[in-house]
Amino acid sequence: MKTTILTLVFIISCTSVIAQIPQSTWMALGGICFDNDKSTNYGYYALEDEFIELQSSNSEFALKAGAGFAFAEDQVIGLKLGHQINRSTVEQLVSGTDEIETRISTDTRLTVTPFYRYYYFCAPAFAFIGQLRVPIAVTGGNFEVEGGPNPSSTEQPGGFGIGAWLNPKFAWFPKDNWSLEAGIGRLGFYTEGYDDSNNNRIKDSQFSAKLWLFQPRLTFSYYFGRAEKLPLN
């Protein structure tokens, strides 16, 4: 609660000084995200009347890169490309045996995302960014069973998705041409569809309004020639 109040006070108290992203400035941006959660469960092995330790994990890897152009002062349009892999691994005890099988679900996602940004500078080195982006995604996946009596591998049906997100960000400019950005939430919708094995069309839609002040998503941006174009230089 205190963090939210401080954030609102910070935004309200900001006063725009001068245009800080000069018109005709080019920018490049990118980021890498990796997250991995592990947990331990216990399965009951009836033949020996004991519990066996079982592991499970969820991991996410995302790589994003893009470019933008300032068509007006403090306003940027651009395009971002992304590749994301989500992997879920679960060990379980095969009923009636002492064998452990591992179920692995892997989802892959390729995205093309047009975006628009508006920069509001509170100081020469700090800005609040309002970003609207439209992610367009092509998805696929695979499901595997390793170990146990019936190992298998099945390719999941590919899908197509599109959405619209409003993403607030804070940006810090340690150098005139560099910035570190922290995404703190999103508001919008996303819908995705695919054909199942019986050629039935399956659709999944979601509306999301989230803030993650304690787990910001970080990206880096580089602005070509910004230092030379700033009015103070």
SS3 content of the chain, % helix, strand, coil (to 5): 5, 70, 20
Gyration radius of the chain over CA positions = 23
HEC string of 110-146 equals EEEEEEEEEEEEEECCEEEEEEEECCEEEEEEEEEEE
**Can you tell me the mean pLDDT for 135-154?**
89
Residue 72 — very low, low, confident or very high, per pLDDT cuts 50/70/90? very high
| Model confidence pTM above 0.85 | no
How many residues are present in the chain?
233
Residue with the two structure tokens 């935004």:
11
pLDDT at 117: 96
**HSE of 81 in the Cβ direction (CA atoms, 13 Å)?**
3
- Alpha-carbon distance of 78 to 26, in angstroms, equals 9
**8 phi, psi to nearest 5 deg:** -65, -40
Q: Where are the domains of the chain?
A: 16-229
Three-state DSSP class for residue 6? helix
Alpha helices (H) in the chain, listed in sequence order: 2-13, 226-229
Class of domain 16-229: mainly beta
> 27-44: per-residue pLDDT in tens?
999 988 888 888 888 776
Query: Which letter does DSSP use for residue 105 in this model?
Result: E
- Banded model confidence at residue 89, pLDDT cuts 50, 70, 90: very high
Phi, psi of 18 (to 5 degrees): -140, 165
